[in-house]
Structure 1
């Protein structure tokens, strides 16, 4: 329990999928001259170095951001944010979604970030100092406490490690409750596509949840290393901003 550290997986193909789609949604939301809120339930440490021993041990970024970056247009917000972050933190830096979001957001926008792992929370607090309100608590508890946030416009990213296997069973009900409390919020759930099929029942429940206009997008890729059970990445989004479907189509080409 609480052993997961994303540094071993930072910048992998699933990160590229999730972060590119998140950046696209934030770009649209920030076009309006109105403040917004960004919430995240499983934040990690916020910033990773791909030449760290942990990242080098798995080498997952080589199949992810290293191989795929050239497939994005230079003006894509994901690429622009990555460039800005690497200019500040070094050429092998890779942002977690909290730092990616804060780079794309504006003064006046608010961030609430939850992380339960004590060491990851300490690193997150240091990375996001003066940029966000960090909560050392269960991410769903934070989301229910804050939602609906102020400002009311905004997005919630649910990005578990699924280290707690019961997440697959409990997430659909959590999303339903949060959507009821914050019906105008964009709620985005990331999930892995697994050879075990463990994600299947959760998705069936979500699809049966009668969320009007929900968007589901998946990309597939080879296992990043021998014996790895993740063969793709998915996002399930409620109240997806305009243009998200077009971004999904573009991501299909990136991963083709």
Structure 2
């Protein structure tokens, strides 16, 4: 069994950029009444206690959501208000993962598939979803399986609309290649869907290879958003993180272009090495 547990990292800068993008996509998808499907390939526990022993061990959230939650940032007001809704006023003790963000947005006509392979996180995820409203529970299926194996069986949805979030830990290095392969197959079945691929920058060459494979796949309309707190290095662990979005909704690029410089300043701790990227990898 893999050792990665997101409870040690919840609310860090990598979560911030991921969930800002996810919230924005949900808001834009839900402007139309037609049903959507949401698929999360690596759901984790869904909700994280920032006062837990795991979270306090590394305290990564302090240089992530902890620096932002009580500050005025109009471009990410929806994301910050959502985080606040899980906490008491002026306190930060809980952080919602992507499954709870989805549960917040899903309407009666929508559907979600949440995949999680780790038995402890799967159990916690089931409990957290069970604690949501009855109407939310009816829309959400929690599956104990590797989402990269399960996602193809759910595509295409009848509505031909939705978001697939692909965010493995990449603890197994072959996951970079597997992600590219699965995305290529998934896109062929669901070419109208939005695919959001989270990635950590630990070895930049791994990200370059992932990008090259996606570009070479023939998939159109691919954008990339990245936030880096340090220059690329093999000595510091994760130095940056980003999202590759296929079929991004209109307006996402402009929003991230405006917001990422502010996030870089807020979370970069004054480092001259902090940076951001907004790029179009493949045009429409």
**Does TM-score exceed 0.5, indicating one fold?**
yes
Mark the CA change 1:71 to 1:211 in structure 2 (over 3 Å): closer, same or farther. Answer: farther
1:94 aligns to what? 95
Paired with 2:160 and 2:221, the residues of 1 have a C-alpha distance of: 20
1:183 aligns to what? 191
Q: How many residues align?
A: 252
1:121 aligns to what? 122
Q: Is 1:168 matched up with 2:176?
A: yes
Mark the CA change 1:196 to 1:179 in structure 2 (over 3 Å): closer, same or farther. Answer: closer
Moved more, 3-12 or 190-199: 190-199
Q: Is 1:78 matched up with 2:79?
A: yes
Paired with 1:229 and 1:196, the residues of 2 have a C-alpha distance of: 11
CA deviations over 1:59-80 (Å, ceiling 9, x no partner):
1001100113325228722112
Q: Is 1:231 matched up with 2:239?
A: yes
Contact 2:226–2:243 (8 Å) recurs in 1 = yes
Contact 1:17–1:251 (8 Å) recurs in 2 = no
Paired with 1:104 and 1:228, the residues of 2 have a C-alpha distance of: 36
Mark the CA change 1:91 to 1:229 in structure 2 (over 3 Å): closer, same or farther. Answer: closer
1:67 aligns to what? 67
Paired with 1:74 and 1:249, the residues of 2 have a C-alpha distance of: 11
Q: How does 1:1-256 map to 2 (within 5 A)?
A: 1-69=1-69, 70=71, 72-73=73-74, 76-87=77-88, 91-129=92-130, 130=137, 132-195=140-203, 197-222=205-230, 228-252=236-260, 253-256=262-265
Contact 1:46–1:98 (8 Å) recurs in 2 = yes
Displacement after TM superposition at 1:255 (Å): 1.9
Displacement after TM superposition at 1:196 (Å): 5.8
Computed over aligned residues only, the root mean square deviation of the Cα atoms, in angstroms, reads 2.0
Paired with 1:228 and 1:124, the residues of 2 have a C-alpha distance of: 31
Displacement after TM superposition at 1:242 (Å): 1.2
Scaled by the length of structure 2, the TM-score of the pair is 0.83
Moved more, 46-55 or 126-135: 126-135
Paired with 2:72 and 2:183, the residues of 1 have a C-alpha distance of: 33
Paired with 1:42 and 1:195, the residues of 2 have a C-alpha distance of: 21
CA deviations over 1:67-105 (Å, ceiling 9, x no partner):
1332522872211211222259x8411011110121122
Moved more, 74-83 or 42-51: 74-83
